[in-house]
Each structure stands twice: as structure tokens, then as C-alpha cells.
Amino acid sequence: MEHLRKRVLVTGGAGFLGSHLCKRLVANGDDVLCVDNYYTGQKKNLEHLMGAPNFEMLRHDITFPLYVEIDEIYNLACPASPIHYQFDPVQTTKTSVHGAINMLGLAKRTKAKIFQASTSEVYGNPNLHPQNESYWGHVNPIGSRACYDEGKRCAETLFFDYHRQHGLAIKVARIFNTYGPRMHPNDGRVVSNFIVQALNNAPITIYGDGSQSRAFCYVDDMIDAFISLMETPENITGPVNLGNPEETSILMLAQKIIDLTDSTSKIIYQPLPEDDPIQRCPDIRYAEEILQWRPSTKLEDGLKKTISFFREFFRNR
């Protein structure tokens, strides 16, 4: 069956996930408009697409309205790591809330289907494990992470209210830890932190005792899920958990990265930050059912590709 060429807007398209999504959509033959204000996104993430006739970039902040003609919107714009979203917490909340209002308004005007990149952070520091979509979360609304957690929760509220009130076609994905090439080297996330420290033979910093666990999904698997979710029938709105259900302790991750980089780094321990979740793992049975999707990239294979990217990144600096 011939692919129907669509006009697709990707907000936050110069970021880690956004750049991978743009690449996939361009390869699929869609006309892609990438919008980013370059707060955390980087133009060099999209260098490989610059010559493509069906790719366009626009510098724009989605806290301001955008007037374009579009068939689909992937709303990925928002700093996603604590070091970035806590730098200007008011702007983080504005990006999630005002940004959602502006993109939903655009979708309403153009009758576009709209995808929201929500987050596992809507579950806060969960007291249910693993987390399924019916769990309402355990979030501190006034803590240092609340600008992101509550901003994303409010964005979900807006998406479902636009869906109920205006009949908008929405898709809401709750994204769990994702890693891979083009991660920001200074984003403070655990995979990039450990790889950068290991490649420099610097001490690897673990917050807490390292027993806390995360579930790491390789970026290619995540992009597969984004596109599959966008293509589901209109009665499927989500929210749907997207991530890898296999847990890894932070200490085990550090040791694996030291081994894969042949690093001489030693592990050091620091106090756990405020509201840092002890366990974070998705229940993806709903995604398996509606998308026939499950991550297939083994952690070691994904880490090798990510380490190669960072080696090349530091070589060319």
C-alpha cells in the first residue's frame, strides 16, 4: 500500500528524541516541519537532514502561537532532564502548559491529529510497582521537580479536555527512560552522565547507594512506538506507557558502562536528590496489546552504540 504523504509538525525536533523522530518521518516520505527554540535542542542533531527536500526547520518557542497548515503534530517540546528543567522552572511549566494550549489550538484549527510526549514523571515517586496507566501517581506538587511533573500532568488534562470538548484526535504517550545517540552530553541523565565520566576516566557519581532501579529503552525502539501509536484508530487515545519493562540498578549500569568503555573510573556516592524515585519501571501490557510493540534492543547493544556516539562527539569537539 502506497504511503500517504503527510505534513507533520515536530515540536522540540532538534532535541534527542525529536531529531530521531524527524529522521524517521523524513525517511518515510512525509513533509516534516521541525520547530525548536534551541533551549536544549541543537542544530547539529539535524545536520544530516538539511539537504532533504521534505524537511524544514523553524526557530520558534511554542509558548507563543504558531500558524501553519499541518496534518499531524508530535508535541515533544520541553526540557526533559532535571538539570535543564530546574534551571528556569517557570519557563518549564509554561512550555508544558501554554505549549500544550497553543499546539492543541493549532490541531483544532487544522483538524490535525496530535501526539503528546508525556512522561513517566507523572507517576512521581511511585508507591505502585511497576506503574500502569490507571495509577494516578504520587507527586510532590511543590517540590523542585514539580515544574516538570505537574506541567506534564496538566498538559495531559488539557489533551483529554480538548478531546472530550472538541472531538480532537489525541495520542498521549508516557515515556520512560530512553537513551541513545544524540543525547545531550550535559543533560545530567544517568546514561549520558556515566558514559561521559567513564570516557574521561573521571569518578562516576552515583546518588544514593545505587540500588535504585530504572528501565532503559533504546531510542530506535521508542521511535517505533511513537509512530505506531500515531497510526492507531482514533478511539485509542492513551495514555500509554512506552518504555523497557526490564529493570537495571544504577550500580549495575555504572559497572556495565565502565566495562564497555575500558575505563579506569572509580565509583563515588553522593546523597539522593529531593523526590528522586527509588523505582521506575513501566507496565507495558497495554502498549503490547494495542501496538504489538515491545523493545527489542538489548541494553549492552544500545550502550555500545551510545558510547560510539559520545566517543565521536568528543573526538570532533
Residue 148 known to be catalytic:
yes
Query: Which residue out of 148, 162, 179, 218 is catalytically annotated?
Result: 148
Contact 305, 260 (CB under 8 A): no
- By C-alpha distance, which of 239, 242, 277, 240 is closest to 140? 277
HEC profile of the chain? CCCCCCEEEEECCCCHHHHHHHHHHHHCCCEEEEEECCCCCCHHHHHHHCCCCCEEEEECCCCCCCCCCCCEEEECCCCCCHHHHCCCHHHHHHHHHHHHHHHHHHHHHHCCEEEEEEEHHHHECCCCCCECCCCCCECCCCCCCHHHHHHHHHHHHHHHHHHHHHCCCEEEEEECCEECCCCCCCCCCHHHHHHHHHHCCCCEEEECCCCCEEECEEHHHHHHHHHHHHCCCCCCCCCEEECCCCEEEHHHHHHHHHHHHCCCCCEEEECCCCCCCCECCECCHHHHHHHCCCCCCCHHHHHHHHHHHHHHHHHCC
Hey, which residues are catalytic here?
148
